[in-house]
Amino acid sequence: MSLSSGALLGPMSSEQTFRIHNRPRDVTAVLNRVEEFCRLHGFATATVLDVRLVTEEVLTNVVKYAYEGVGDYQVELRLSASDHSVRMEFRDEGAPFNPLDFPAPDPGNLTEGRQPGGLGIHLARSLVDDSSYSREGNVNVLVLIKHI
């Protein structure tokens, strides 16, 4: 039996790293691969979609805020899964930017179009159990862990 990254993986840990450029099409491509990774691990559909949602919200925020005004750059996602949790580590070399600093959006403001990044990060945080940010040299490191 050969174990390629495409095989159905049973009860064992597994990791995968994705690197994308700051193009919307690249974000979509990695979201599809993240979803595939989760499905191969046999996660329930709700969990698969939650992980995709968290990843979409963080990547679109990092792309928007950490690199404003700069040209081509890369964002890295280190995804690892066990039977009980999914760990998402986002790394980028943009300006120091901690998405966790965004305040939770005020429900009264939602329909008035005044919530740029807060809504997405609030969603992401609500769907994971642990979140932490650190700066390693010139790299933003955001770790989100979802218990399953």
Which spans of this chain sit near other proteins (rule: CB under 8 A)? 24, 27-28, 32, 46, 49, 52-53, 56-57, 60, 105, 107, 110-113, 119-120, 122-123, 126-127
Query: 79 vs 128, which CB is nearer to other proteins?
Result: 128
Q: How far is CA 117 from CA 4, 22, 88, 99, in A?
A: 37, 17, 19, 9
Q: Which long-range contacts (CB under 8 A, 24 or more apart) does 132-140 make?
A: 132/100, 133/98, 133/99, 133/100, 135/96, 138/93, 139/91, 139/92, 139/93, 140/62, 140/66, 140/90, 140/91, 140/92, 140/93, 140/94, 140/96, 140/97, 140/98
Q: How far is the CB of 1 from other proteins (least distance, A)?
A: 31
Q: How far is the CB of 7 from other proteins (least distance, A)?
A: 24
Query: 9 vs 119, which CB is nearer to other proteins?
Result: 119
Q: How far is the CB of 137 from other proteins (least distance, A)?
A: 29
Query: 49 vs 145, which CB is nearer to other proteins?
Result: 49
Q: How far is the CB of 105 from other proteins (least distance, A)?
A: 7
Query: 94 vs 105, which CB is nearer to other proteins?
Result: 105
Query: Cα separation of 78 and 91, whole Å?
Result: 8
